[in-house]
Amino acid sequence: MRTRMLMAVGVSYAVDALFLACFWWLDRVSLGLPLLYAAAGLAHIAVFAGVFRLGWGRQGRDPYLTEWQMVTAIAVQLGAVLLAPWIKAYFLCIIFVVFAFGTLSLTIRQALLMWLSTCAMTAITLQYLPSQHNAAVTIPDNAREAVLVGLAYASILLRCLLLNHYGTVLRVRLVQRQRKLADEVVAVHRLATHDLLTGALNRHAILPMLEEQIHLVQRGRQACALALIDLDHFKRVNDGHGHLVGDQVLCRVVDTMNATLRPSDKLARYGGEEFLLLMPATTLEEALVVLERVRLAVAHQSWQDLVADLPITLSAGITHVHARDRLDDVLARADTSLYQAKNEGRNRCVCLAAN
C-alpha cells in the first residue's frame, strides 16, 4: 500500500514536470527548471522508498509518514516559486493538490497544524520575491491589499482542507454503515434459515436443499441419503424436568451430532425433538454408518448434570433418494423407517430403500 502511494506521488510529480516542460517550450522558463523539478520529485520518491524499505514508521500512527511527505512536497513547490516567481500561481495551486492528497491520512488537528505551517512558509517565501512578483494572483497596490490576498489564499486552502476532511469522514461513515448493513443482512439470513434455540438449520432451509439433491440424483450426478431422527421418550424430559432442561438437552444433542457428522452433512431441526439429516453424495450403506456413529455418540454422552435419572437416546429412519422420487416420497419413506425403528424398541437405526 505504501508503494502504491509513492507511485501516485511520482505520477503527480511527472505531470507537473511535463507542464513545466511546456512552459520551457513556450520560452517562459529555462530548461533547468523542469529538470530540477523532476530531480526533486525523484529524490522525494527515492528517499521515502528507502525509508519504507527500512521499515520506519510501519508500526507508528502514520505508516505513510504523510506529514513528512507533505512538508517535502510543499517545500519543493515553494522552492519552485523562488526560481520562477512569474508562474508562481501554478506552484501555489499544486499545494492544494498536496493538501487534498495528504489530508486523507491526517487527523483534523494534524491537518490544521499543517495548514498553519504552510501559510507561514508561503508568506515567508513570498517576502523574498522581487516586488513585481510579490502577489499570490495579482499585484497588490499596497500592503493592505497584500495582506488581504494572503488571507484569501489561506482561507481557500483552509476550506479545501476542511472539505476534504469532511469528505473523508463521510466515506468512513459510509463504509461503517455498509459493514453494519452487511452484518445485519447476515444476521437476518441466519434467523431465517437456522433454528433459534439449537442453531441447527430449520425446516425452511433444509427442504430446498433436499429438493436440489433430488434434482441432482434425477440428472445422475450423485447419490443422496436422508434420515429422520427423533429423541426417544423426550416427553419424559419435559414433563419430569421442565422445558428449560428440555431445551438444554436439545442443544447438547445438536452439538453432539454436529461434532460427529461430516462437513458435507446438513442437520436441521424438523420440529420439536425431531431432526432431519441430509447426506449428499452418500449411499444408503454409508448413511447407516454415519447414523450409527451419531446414535452411539448421543447414547454415550454424559447427561448427569441435566437428567441423571433418564437416558437420552435417539431413533433414526434412513432412506435414499431415487430418481423417480418427489420431495414427499423421500420424506414419507424416511418417516416410515423412523416409525419402524420406534416399533422395534427405539435407540436404533432402520434403513428403508426405495422400491
Report, as residue numbers or ranges, the catalytic residues: 273
3-state secondary structure of 134: coil
Which three three-digit cell numbers place residue 243? 422445558
Task: Give alpha helix (H) positions in 107-233.
Answer: 108-127, 143-193, 203-218
Which three three-digit cell numbers place residue 112? 490544521
**Backbone torsions φ then ψ of 319, nearest 5 degrees:** -145, 175
Residues 6+ apart with CB under 8 A from 203: 268, 269, 270, 271, 276
CA separation for the pair 224, 220 (Å, rounded): 11
Rg of the chain over Cα atoms, rounded to whole angstroms, equals 37
Q: Which amino acid, residue 329?
A: D
Which three three-digit cell numbers place residue 232? 426417544
Q: How far is CA 287 from the centre of its chain?
A: 38
Residues 6+ apart with CB under 8 A from 111: 99, 103, 161, 165
Are the C-beta atoms of 20 and 37 separated by less than 8 Å?
yes
Name 235's bridge partners: none
Name 316's bridge partners: 229, 349
Are the C-beta atoms of 225 and 317 separated by less than 8 Å?
no
Q: How far is CA 130 from CA 84, 134, 247, in A?
A: 11, 6, 88
Q: Which amino acid, residue 322?
A: H
Q: Which amino acid, residue 149?
A: V
Q: CA triplet 123, 129, 135: central angle to 5 degrees?
A: 60
**Backbone torsions φ then ψ of 266, nearest 5 degrees:** -120, 115
